[in-house]
Structure 1
Amino acid sequence: MERSFDVIIVGSGIAGLSFARKVADLGSRVCILTKKERAESNTNYAQGGIAAVTSDSDDFELHIQDTLTAGDGLCDEQVVRTIVREAPERIQELVDLGVKFSQLEDGRVSLHREGGHSKRRILHVKDLTGKAIEDALLHAVETHERITLLEHVHAIDLITRQKLAQPDHPVDAKENRVLGLYGYDTRQGKVATYSAPVVMLCTGGVGQVYLYTTNPGIATGDGIAMAYRAGAEIRNMECIQFHPTAFYAKADDRFLISEAVRGEGGILRNLRGEEFMPRYDERRELAPRDIVARAIDSEMKKSGARHVWLDISHQSEDFLKERFPHIHAHCLEYGIDMAREAIPVVPAMHYLCGGVKTNLHAETGVTGLYACGEVACTGLHGANRLASNSLLEAVVMAHRGALAVHEFIATQKYPDLRLPDWLDGDLQDSDERVILSHNLDELKRTLWDYVGIVRTTKRLERARTRIQNLKREIHDYYWNFKVEPGLLELRNLVEVAEMIIQCALQRQESRGLHFTLDFPDKNPTATETRV
Structure 2
Amino acid sequence: MMMTTNYLVIGSGVAGLTFSIKIAEKFPDREVIIITKSDEEESNTKYAQGGVAVVLDTQSDSFEKHIKDTLIAGDGLCDEGVVKMVVEEGPKRLKELLLWGANFDVDGSGDFDLGKEGGHSEYRVVHHKDITGYEIERALLKCVHQLPNITILSHHFAIDLVTNHHIKNVKSDTISCYGAYVLDQKTGHIFTIKANSTLLASGGVGCVYGHTTNPKIATGDGIAMAYRAKAKIKDMEFIQFHPTALYEAKGESSFLISEAVRGFGAYLRNKNGYRFMPDYDARAELASRDIVSQSIDRELKKSGENHVYLDCTHLDIKDFKNHFPNIYEKCLEHHIDVAKDWIPVVPASHYLCGGIEVDKDGKTSVSNLFACGECTRTGLHGANRLASNSLLEALVYAHNIFRFHSSHEYGTLTIEIPDWNDEGTTIPEEHVLIQHNLKQLQALMRDYVGIVRSNKRLKRAIKHLELIYNEVEDLYRESKITTSLCELRNMVNVAHLIIGQSLERTENKGGYFNIDNVKK
TM-score by length of 1: 0.96
Q: Distance in 1 between matches of 2:237 and 2:47?
A: 23
Correspondence 1:6-85 to 2 at 5 A = 6-27=6-27, 28-56=30-58, 57-85=60-88
Q: Indicate the larger mover: 92-101 or 283-292.
A: 92-101
State the secondary structure of the residue aligned to 1:215: coil
Which AA in structure 2 matches 1:164? I
Residue 177 of structure 1, CA deviation: 1.1
Residue 213 of structure 1, CA deviation: 0.4
Give the corresponding residue for 2:508.
Answer: 510
Question: 1:156·1:488 contact (CA, 8 Å) conserved in 2?
Answer: yes
State the secondary structure of the residue aligned to 1:455: coil
Post-superposition Cα deviations, 1:331-352, rounded to whole Å, max 9, x if no partner, equal: 0000001112211000000000
Give the corresponding residue for 2:181.
Answer: 182
Residue 414 of structure 1, CA deviation: 4.1
Question: 2:245·2:347 contact (CA, 8 Å) conserved in 1?
Answer: yes
State the secondary structure of the residue aligned to 1:3: strand
RMSD, aligned CA? 1.1
State the secondary structure of the residue aligned to 1:429: coil
Q: Distance in 1 between matches of 2:91 and 2:316?
A: 33
Give the corresponding residue for 1:104.
Answer: 107
Q: Distance in 1 between matches of 2:316 and 2:411?
A: 63
Which AA in structure 1 matches 2:451? I
Residue 77 of structure 1, CA deviation: 0.5
Give the corresponding residue for 1:247.
Answer: 246
Which AA in structure 1 matches 2:45? T
Residue 468 of structure 1, CA deviation: 1.4
Question: 2:356·2:376 contact (CA, 8 Å) conserved in 1?
Answer: yes
State the secondary structure of the residue aligned to 1:349: strand
Q: Say whether residues 1:147 and 2:150 are aligned partners.
A: yes
Give the corresponding residue for 2:420.
Answer: 422
Question: 2:373·2:390 contact (CA, 8 Å) conserved in 1?
Answer: yes
Question: 1:309·1:343 contact (CA, 8 Å) conserved in 2?
Answer: yes
Question: 2:51·2:132 contact (CA, 8 Å) conserved in 1?
Answer: yes
Q: Distance in 1 between matches of 2:332 and 2:233?
A: 42
Give the corresponding residue for 1:224.
Answer: 223
Q: Say whether residues 1:95 and 2:110 are aligned partners.
A: no
Question: 2:195·2:413 contact (CA, 8 Å) conserved in 1?
Answer: no
Post-superposition Cα deviations, 1:486-510, rounded to whole Å, max 9, x if no partner, equal: 0010010000000000000000111
Residue 521 of structure 1, CA deviation: 4.9
Residue 424 of structure 1, CA deviation: 1.6
Question: 2:167·2:416 contact (CA, 8 Å) conserved in 1?
Answer: no
Q: Say whether residues 1:403 and 2:403 are aligned partners.
A: yes
Q: Distance in 2 between matches of 1:288 and 1:395?
A: 23
Give the corresponding residue for 2:328.
Answer: 328
Question: 1:208·1:215 contact (CA, 8 Å) conserved in 2?
Answer: yes
State the secondary structure of the residue aligned to 2:443: helix
State the secondary structure of the residue aligned to 1:144: coil
Give the corresponding residue for 1:525.
Answer: none
Question: 1:49·1:125 contact (CA, 8 Å) conserved in 2?
Answer: yes
Q: Distance in 2 between matches of 1:338 and 1:224?
A: 39
Residue 53 of structure 1, CA deviation: 0.3
Q: Would you identify which runs of 4 or more consecutive aligned residues in structure 1 move more than 2 Å?
A: 405-408, 412-415
Give the corresponding residue for 1:164.
Answer: 167
Question: 1:152·1:185 contact (CA, 8 Å) conserved in 2?
Answer: yes
State the secondary structure of the residue aligned to 1:5: strand
Q: Distance in 1 between matches of 2:209 and 2:349?
A: 7
Q: Distance in 1 between matches of 2:164 and 2:470?
A: 26
Q: Distance in 2 between matches of 1:195 and 1:356?
A: 21
Give the corresponding residue for 1:500.
Answer: 498
Q: Distance in 2 between matches of 1:225 and 1:405?
A: 25
Question: 1:165·1:171 contact (CA, 8 Å) conserved in 2?
Answer: no
Post-superposition Cα deviations, 1:447-471, rounded to whole Å, max 9, x if no partner, equal: 0000000000000001111111111
Correspondence 1:513-524 to 2 at 5 A = 513-521=511-519
Correspondence 1:218-297 to 2 at 5 A = 218-251=217-250, 252-297=252-297
State the secondary structure of the residue aligned to 2:310: strand
Which AA in structure 1 matches 2:222? G
Q: Distance in 1 between matches of 2:406 and 2:156?
A: 25
Q: Say whether residues 1:124 and 2:130 are aligned partners.
A: no
Which AA in structure 2 matches 1:236? D
Which AA in structure 2 matches 1:514? Y
Question: 1:509·1:521 contact (CA, 8 Å) conserved in 2?
Answer: no
Give the corresponding residue for 1:359.
Answer: 359
Give the corresponding residue for 1:338.
Answer: 338
Give the corresponding residue for 1:114.
Answer: 117
Question: 2:166·2:418 contact (CA, 8 Å) conserved in 1?
Answer: no
State the secondary structure of the residue aligned to 1:321: helix
Question: 1:215·1:350 contact (CA, 8 Å) conserved in 2?
Answer: yes
Q: Distance in 2 between matches of 1:365 and 1:273?
A: 51
Q: Distance in 1 between matches of 2:438 and 2:171?
A: 35
Give the corresponding residue for 1:368.
Answer: 368
Give the corresponding residue for 2:315.
Answer: 315
Question: 2:213·2:350 contact (CA, 8 Å) conserved in 1?
Answer: yes
State the secondary structure of the residue aligned to 1:197: strand
Give the corresponding residue for 1:440.
Answer: 438
Residue 303 of structure 1, CA deviation: 0.6
Q: Distance in 1 between matches of 2:116 and 2:383?
A: 21
Which AA in structure 2 matches 1:441? K
Question: 1:237·1:503 contact (CA, 8 Å) conserved in 2?
Answer: yes
Give the corresponding residue for 2:447.
Answer: 449
Residue 360 of structure 1, CA deviation: 0.6
Which AA in structure 2 matches 1:425? E
State the secondary structure of the residue aligned to 2:202: coil
State the secondary structure of the residue aligned to 1:111: coil
Q: Distance in 1 between matches of 2:25 and 2:462?
A: 46
Q: Say whether residues 1:392 and 2:395 are aligned partners.
A: no
Q: Distance in 2 between matches of 1:416 and 1:108?
A: 53
Q: Distance in 2 between matches of 1:223 and 1:338?
A: 38
Residue 312 of structure 1, CA deviation: 1.1
Question: 1:161·1:178 contact (CA, 8 Å) conserved in 2?
Answer: yes
Q: Distance in 2 between matches of 1:50 and 1:339?
A: 28
State the secondary structure of the residue aligned to 1:64: helix
Q: Distance in 1 between matches of 2:417 and 2:519?
A: 51
Residue 99 of structure 1, CA deviation: 1.1
Question: 2:212·2:350 contact (CA, 8 Å) conserved in 1?
Answer: yes
Q: Distance in 2 between matches of 1:414 and 1:306?
A: 56
Give the corresponding residue for 1:305.
Answer: 305
Q: Distance in 1 between matches of 2:190 and 2:407?
A: 31
Which AA in structure 1 matches 2:68? Q
Note the residue ranges of structure 2 that are not aligned, 5 or more in a row: none
Which AA in structure 1 matches 2:26? L
State the secondary structure of the residue aligned to 2:516: coil
Which AA in structure 1 matches 2:444? T
